[in-house]
Amino acid sequence: MRRILMALVLLLSAAGVSRAVAQRSHFGVHGGYNFDSDDWLIGAQLHMPVSRSIEFYPSFDYYLVNAGSLVGFNADLKFRSLGTPLYFGGGLNILRASGNSDTGFDLFGGFETRYGRTHPYVEGRGLFHGNSSLQLLFGLNVTLY
Protein backbone atom coordinates (compact mmCIF):
# COMPACT_ATOMS: atom_id res chain seq x y z
CA MET A 1 0.00 0.00 0.00
CA ARG A 2 2.88 2.35 0.78
CA ARG A 3 4.27 1.87 -2.76
CA ILE A 4 0.90 2.73 -4.27
CA LEU A 5 0.73 5.92 -2.19
CA MET A 6 4.25 6.95 -3.20
CA ALA A 7 3.52 6.33 -6.89
CA LEU A 8 0.29 8.34 -6.67
CA VAL A 9 2.02 11.25 -4.91
CA LEU A 10 4.74 11.31 -7.58
CA LEU A 11 2.15 11.19 -10.37
CA LEU A 12 0.07 13.99 -8.88
CA SER A 13 3.07 16.21 -8.15
CA ALA A 14 4.38 15.75 -11.70
CA ALA A 15 0.95 16.49 -13.10
CA GLY A 16 0.72 19.71 -11.10
CA VAL A 17 3.97 21.11 -12.53
CA SER A 18 2.72 22.07 -15.98
CA ARG A 19 0.00 24.70 -16.31
CA ALA A 20 -2.39 24.94 -19.21
CA VAL A 21 -2.99 28.35 -20.70
CA ALA A 22 -6.41 27.31 -22.01
CA GLN A 23 -7.96 26.79 -18.56
CA ARG A 24 -8.16 28.66 -15.30
CA SER A 25 -7.96 27.55 -11.70
CA HIS A 26 -11.15 27.30 -9.65
CA PHE A 27 -12.05 27.13 -5.98
CA GLY A 28 -15.35 25.73 -4.77
CA VAL A 29 -17.52 24.56 -1.94
CA HIS A 30 -19.89 21.61 -1.80
CA GLY A 31 -22.40 19.76 0.30
CA GLY A 32 -23.57 16.21 -0.03
CA TYR A 33 -24.81 12.96 1.40
CA ASN A 34 -23.08 9.61 1.94
CA PHE A 35 -25.70 6.91 1.34
CA ASP A 36 -23.86 4.07 3.08
CA SER A 37 -22.94 5.82 6.32
CA ASP A 38 -26.16 7.90 6.28
CA ASP A 39 -24.18 11.13 6.91
CA TRP A 40 -24.34 14.64 5.46
CA LEU A 41 -21.09 16.37 4.54
CA ILE A 42 -19.67 19.77 3.62
CA GLY A 43 -16.37 20.50 1.96
CA ALA A 44 -14.18 22.45 -0.42
CA GLN A 45 -12.14 21.74 -3.54
CA LEU A 46 -9.55 23.28 -5.83
CA HIS A 47 -9.13 22.78 -9.58
CA MET A 48 -5.68 23.30 -11.07
CA PRO A 49 -5.30 22.74 -14.82
CA VAL A 50 -2.70 20.25 -16.00
CA SER A 51 -3.75 20.24 -19.66
CA ARG A 52 -6.78 21.27 -21.68
CA SER A 53 -8.80 18.28 -20.45
CA ILE A 54 -7.05 17.23 -17.19
CA GLU A 55 -7.12 18.95 -13.78
CA PHE A 56 -5.50 18.20 -10.44
CA TYR A 57 -8.51 18.11 -8.10
CA PRO A 58 -7.71 18.07 -4.35
CA SER A 59 -10.71 18.24 -2.01
CA PHE A 60 -11.70 18.07 1.64
CA ASP A 61 -14.90 16.67 3.20
CA TYR A 62 -16.16 17.17 6.75
CA TYR A 63 -18.84 14.64 7.68
CA LEU A 64 -21.60 15.74 10.05
CA VAL A 65 -21.60 12.60 12.22
CA ASN A 66 -23.37 12.18 15.57
CA ALA A 67 -20.42 10.81 17.55
CA GLY A 68 -16.73 11.62 17.09
CA SER A 69 -15.36 13.21 13.95
CA LEU A 70 -14.88 12.07 10.37
CA VAL A 71 -12.97 13.94 7.66
CA GLY A 72 -11.96 12.94 4.17
CA PHE A 73 -9.08 14.11 1.98
CA ASN A 74 -8.94 13.45 -1.77
CA ALA A 75 -6.06 13.90 -4.24
CA ASP A 76 -7.62 13.25 -7.64
CA LEU A 77 -7.13 13.74 -11.34
CA LYS A 78 -10.22 15.00 -13.15
CA PHE A 79 -10.73 14.32 -16.87
CA ARG A 80 -13.08 16.56 -18.83
CA SER A 81 -14.91 15.42 -21.93
CA LEU A 82 -14.14 18.28 -24.33
CA GLY A 83 -17.23 19.97 -25.71
CA THR A 84 -19.55 18.54 -23.02
CA PRO A 85 -20.19 19.40 -19.35
CA LEU A 86 -19.37 15.80 -18.29
CA TYR A 87 -16.27 14.76 -16.34
CA PHE A 88 -14.85 11.72 -14.54
CA GLY A 89 -11.77 10.79 -12.55
CA GLY A 90 -10.28 9.22 -9.49
CA GLY A 91 -7.38 9.12 -7.09
CA LEU A 92 -6.30 8.79 -3.49
CA ASN A 93 -8.85 9.03 -0.66
CA ILE A 94 -7.98 9.21 3.04
CA LEU A 95 -10.66 8.99 5.73
CA ARG A 96 -9.72 10.02 9.27
CA ALA A 97 -12.09 9.10 12.08
CA SER A 98 -11.30 9.94 15.72
CA GLY A 99 -7.53 9.57 15.29
CA ASN A 100 -7.55 6.53 12.97
CA SER A 101 -6.79 6.84 9.24
CA ASP A 102 -7.96 4.59 6.42
CA THR A 103 -6.39 4.99 2.97
CA GLY A 104 -8.13 3.89 -0.21
CA PHE A 105 -9.14 5.27 -3.57
CA ASP A 106 -12.13 6.99 -5.10
CA LEU A 107 -13.82 7.14 -8.50
CA PHE A 108 -16.22 9.89 -9.52
CA GLY A 109 -18.20 11.35 -12.37
CA GLY A 110 -20.30 14.45 -12.74
CA PHE A 111 -21.86 17.28 -14.67
CA GLU A 112 -20.59 20.89 -14.38
CA THR A 113 -21.68 23.97 -16.31
CA ARG A 114 -18.79 26.10 -17.61
CA TYR A 115 -20.50 29.43 -18.38
CA GLY A 116 -19.48 32.64 -16.61
CA ARG A 117 -17.34 32.88 -13.47
CA THR A 118 -19.40 30.50 -11.29
CA HIS A 119 -20.00 26.87 -12.17
CA PRO A 120 -22.65 24.77 -10.39
CA TYR A 121 -22.10 21.01 -10.47
CA VAL A 122 -23.43 17.64 -9.31
CA GLU A 123 -21.12 14.67 -8.72
CA GLY A 124 -21.37 11.03 -7.74
CA ARG A 125 -18.37 9.61 -5.89
CA GLY A 126 -17.52 6.07 -4.84
CA LEU A 127 -15.08 5.60 -1.94
CA PHE A 128 -13.27 2.28 -1.88
CA HIS A 129 -11.70 1.19 1.43
CA GLY A 130 -12.32 -1.86 3.60
CA ASN A 131 -15.96 -0.88 3.13
CA SER A 132 -17.06 0.97 0.02
CA SER A 133 -19.54 3.83 0.04
CA LEU A 134 -21.34 6.10 -2.40
CA GLN A 135 -21.95 9.80 -1.97
CA LEU A 136 -23.70 12.50 -3.97
CA LEU A 137 -22.30 16.04 -3.99
CA PHE A 138 -23.72 19.40 -5.08
CA GLY A 139 -21.47 22.43 -5.29
CA LEU A 140 -20.35 25.67 -6.82
CA ASN A 141 -16.94 26.46 -8.32
CA VAL A 142 -15.66 30.03 -8.80
CA THR A 143 -12.97 31.07 -11.29
CA LEU A 144 -9.88 32.38 -9.47
CA TYR A 145 -8.23 34.35 -12.30
Q: What string of pLDDT tens digits covers the 145 residues of the chain?
A: 555 555 555 454 544 433 333 478 999 999 999 999 899 999 999 999 999 899 999 999 999 998 778 999 999 999 998 889 999 999 999 999 888 899 999 999 999 998 889 999 999 999 999 889 999 999 999 998 7
**pLDDT computed for residue 17 by the predictor:** 37
- pTM assigned to the model: 0.81
Report the distance separating Cα 132 and Cα 23, nearest Å: 33
**pLDDT computed for residue 2 by the predictor:** 53
**pLDDT computed for residue 12 by the predictor:** 47
Contacts of 59 (CB under 8 A, 6+ apart): 30, 43, 44, 45, 46, 73, 74, 76
**pLDDT computed for residue 82 by the predictor:** 82
**pLDDT computed for residue 109 by the predictor:** 97
Fold type of domain 2-143:
Porin (2.40.160)
Residue 4, Ramachandran bin (φ over 0: left; ψ between -120 and 50: alpha; else beta): alpha
